[in-house]
Structure 1
Amino acid sequence: MSKNSLLKWLQEGNISIPGVLLSQYKEMNLNEHELVLILHVISYIEHGNEFPTPVELSSRMTISVAECTDMLRKLIQKGFIEIKDNYSADGIRYERYHLDPLWEKLIDQFLLSGKKEEALKIQQEETDLYTCFEREFGRPLSPFECETLALWMDDDHHDPHIIKAALRESVLSGKLNFRYIDRILFEWKKNGIKTIEQAKSYGKKFRQNQAQQRAKREDMPSQTTKSVPFYNWLEQ
């Protein structure tokens, strides 16, 4: 390659586009020809030609002038491109392509995509939660138990991870039932327990306290032992 050819290549420059346009154009109902046409429009604008003609655009593509004209019309109809009037310093009116609608749609699609991913994540966490309960109980959950799980998440706003921690706590305590788990969740919410770390720490303290109460009960005379209640979550 000669120096002149290399210089010409460098003078072509680069175009700047958000990477999210490449990852989301399909979700925005754009096909590959429309995407490439938009990229050429961006390229022309960045090189100072704000209103390239269908002839100029089609010359860089594998479509005819008529196809390019039709595609531009559809992009305008779908709200991806606008044509706006501008005025030069000496008052001469001219038209230019305006791409703000494209970027606005791209932002909306990006935010929507994030919400969809979050919704799928929550759905997966909830599915894992049901599976975790059925594994620990060794059987399918009853309709009432499924409804209770849903209430914990939807009405009480317990995080699925916290519910799993309460399930684990009930297993460690040897009291695997929904009433016991519900009481644990109630106690944690009352005491501001919102993270797995806080739940583990609170559970550890509870079991230590339980062990101390049991030791005290065993050290007491038999006639007084009966009056000492067994400490558990349900009595909190």
Structure 2
Amino acid sequence: MEQKDLLMHWMDEGMVSVPQVLLAHYSRLKLSEAELVLLLQIFACKQKGRHFPTFEELSASMTISTEECSTLVQKLIQQQVIAIEQGDALGFERYSLKPLWEKLANFMIQQSRQSTLHQAMNEEQNLYTCFEQEFGRPLSPLECETLAIWIDQDHHDAVIIKAALREAVISGKLNFRYIDRILFEWKKQGIETLEQAREYGQRFRQHQQPSSDQVQRSKKAVPFYNWLEQ
């Protein structure tokens, strides 16, 4: 066969597009290499329109016997990795890979949730560290409880809490009551992002600019907005 004819033959055979997530995480779905290859063989057959290949057809492209192929298929069905569905025509059956895709989707969702939870735990830990650094001491049990309430009950994002801490530092009123008042005001105003918090604080500080006499008396003075007076 000439190279051109060989290339045309390869093109006629088609290509199989395999989900990358399956190759990356099949072991975490407790699938062996043999089971993975068998699933890929079924997947390839379905793409060619052969929805219910025989054990002989499947094992012919693998290094396992027909009996071993039958055993693996039964195992995958029992583990709800694949299913056998009834087709439109009477007596027509086909393999379904929907259970596999569902397992893979659930796994990816779980991984995403775990990643989000891990990130949230890191942010919470960093939040406690930021407060202790700004206060210059370990937080008291009551202060730790207040922080937990802001996160768990009031549902303030860690970024917003850090922004409120920064606002208290700028205003020279570093205490939890003042920070709580800032968070309350921001929530009432619908402030949910760091940029919104910055703009809101800057807008109020502009209205609190000191007079020229005050500036001359103390050039280091920082204008602030007294949130407790709201």
Cα distance in 2 between the residues matched to 1:176 and 1:200: 18
Deviates more, 1:134-143 or 1:176-185: 134-143
1:83 aligns to 2:92 (yes or no): no
Q: Of 103, 106, 109, which residue of structure 2 is paired with 1:105? A: 103
1:35 shift after superposition: 1.7
Per the alignment, do residues 231 and 159 of structure 1 end up closer, same or farther by CA in structure 2, a change over 3 Å counting? closer
Instruction: Determine if contact 2:127/2:158 at 8 Å carries over to the other structure.
Output: yes
Partner of 1:61: 62
Per the alignment, do residues 95 and 198 of structure 1 end up closer, same or farther by CA in structure 2, a change over 3 Å counting? closer
Deviation readout 1:61-110 (Å, 9 max, x if unpaired):
2333333222111110111111233464xx5x243212222223333333
Report the secondary structure of 1:84's partner residue. strand
Give structure 1 stretches of 5+ with no counterpart.
Answer: 219-229
Cα distance in 1 between the residues matched to 2:86 and 2:203: 72
Instruction: Determine if contact 1:86/1:94 at 8 Å carries over to the other structure.
Output: yes
Q: 2:186 is matched by which residue type in structure 1?
A: W
1:14 shift after superposition: 0.8
Q: 2:15 is matched by which residue type in structure 1?
A: N
Partner of 2:6: 5
Instruction: Determine if contact 2:201/2:225 at 8 Å carries over to the other structure.
Output: no
Partner of 1:118: 116
Partner of 2:145: 147
Partner of 1:30: 31
Partner of 1:208: 206
Deviation readout 1:192-212 (Å, 9 max, x if unpaired):
222211211221233333334
Q: 1:63 is matched by which residue type in structure 2?
A: I
Cα distance in 2 between the residues matched to 1:143 and 1:26: 44
Instruction: Determine if contact 1:133/1:167 at 8 Å carries over to the other structure.
Output: yes
Partner of 2:176: 178
Deviation readout 1:134-174 (Å, 9 max, x if unpaired):
22222332222211111001111111111000011111112
1:231 shift after superposition: 6.8
Instruction: Determine if contact 1:83/1:95 at 8 Å carries over to the other structure.
Output: yes
1:56 shift after superposition: 2.4
Total equivalences in the alignment: 220
Partner of 1:194: 192
1:216 shift after superposition: 9.5
1:184 shift after superposition: 1.2
Q: 2:29 is matched by which residue type in structure 1?
A: M
Deviates more, 1:163-172 or 1:78-87: 78-87
Cα distance in 2 between the residues matched to 1:79 and 1:131: 47
Per the alignment, do residues 235 and 87 of structure 1 end up closer, same or farther by CA in structure 2, a change over 3 Å counting? closer
Q: Of 225, 230, 233, which residue of structure 1 is paired with 2:227? A: 233
Q: TM-score, normalised by structure 1?
A: 0.81
Cα distance in 2 between the residues matched to 1:48 and 1:31: 26
Cα distance in 1 between the residues matched to 2:169 and 2:154: 22
Cα distance in 1 between the residues matched to 2:129 and 2:32: 40
Cα distance in 2 between the residues matched to 1:68 and 1:78: 15
Q: 2:226 is matched by which residue type in structure 1?
A: N
Cα distance in 2 between the residues matched to 1:55 and 1:141: 70
Q: 1:37 is matched by which residue type in structure 2?
A: L
Cα distance in 2 between the residues matched to 1:42 and 1:171: 61
Give structure 2 stretches of 5+ with no counterpart.
Answer: 215-223
